[in-house]
């Protein structure tokens, strides 16, 4: 079963076999409005937890997407580069941004569970 975690900067992360798939939460997608452009990291790029990993632009604003954990990018979602609206349609599914091989799996402990994230959003 995949391990799903969330960051305070509204990224989600699903881990399977040591590889984390990263995207933005439904809450973040709703706050952004219609996504019109994404800039994705290249495979091989090393990311530090909390470091800038990607950029998403909407009709409202441009926002950075941060790496929830440290690691190396293995893949980026070309489907959202071609169809950025997919981020709004499937933010916690097919609208994922990139995959990365984690270099410090213990960093997962610093992220929130789904219930913790739901409670966190209620405070915003």
Q: Could you read off the pLDDT of 26-43 as tens digits, one per residue?
A: 999 999 999 999 999 999
Q: What is the mean pLDDT of residues 41-55?
A: 98
Residue 69 CA to residue 86 CA, distance in Å, equals 24
Tell me the domain boundaries of the chain: 3-119
Closest CA to 97 of 34, 6, 11: 11
Whether the predicted pLDDT of 84 surpasses 80: yes
Rounded mean pLDDT of 68-74? 98
**pLDDT band at 1; cut points 50, 70, 90:** very low
The C-alpha atoms of residue 33 and residue 48 are separated, in whole angstroms, by 27
Q: Does the 3-119 domain belong in CATH 1.10.10.10?
A: no
With 0-12 / 13-18 / 19 or more C-beta atoms within 10 angstroms meaning exposed / middle / buried, residue 16 is exposed
Decide: 29 and 91 in contact? Cβ < 8 Å.
yes
User: What per-residue confidence (pLDDT) applies to 3?
Assistant: 72
What's the mean pLDDT when you consider all of the chain?
95
Beta pairing class for 71-76 and 62-66? unpaired
- Is a pLDDT exceeding 70 seen at residue 67? yes
Chain position carrying tokens 């270099």: 103
Categorize the per-residue pLDDT at 2 as very low, low, confident or very high, splitting at 50, 70 and 90. Answer: low
Return the pLDDT at 18: 87
Query: How sure is the predictor about 108, in pLDDT bands with cuts at 50, 70 and 90?
Result: very high
18 or 14: which leads in pLDDT: 14
Which residue stretches of the chain are H helix?
26-32, 78-82, 86-89, 114-122
pLDDT at residue number 33: 95
- 16/97 Cα distance (integer angstroms): 16
């Amino acid at each position: 079963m995949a391990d799903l975690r969330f960051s305070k900067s509204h990224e989600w992360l699903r881990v399977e076999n040591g590889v984390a798939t990263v995207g933005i939460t439904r809450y973040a997608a709703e706050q952004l409005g219609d996504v019109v452009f994404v800039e994705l990291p290249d495979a091989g790029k090393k990311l530090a937890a909390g470091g800038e990993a990607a950029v998403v632009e909407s009709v409202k604003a441009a926002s950075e997407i941060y790496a929830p954990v440290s690691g190396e990018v293995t893949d980026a979602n070309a489907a959202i580069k071609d169809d950025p609206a997919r981020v709004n349609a499937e933010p916690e599914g097919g609208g994922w941004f990139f995959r990365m091989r984690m270099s410090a799996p213990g960093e997962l402990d610093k992220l929130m569970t789904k219930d913790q994230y739901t409670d966190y959003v209620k405070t915003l």
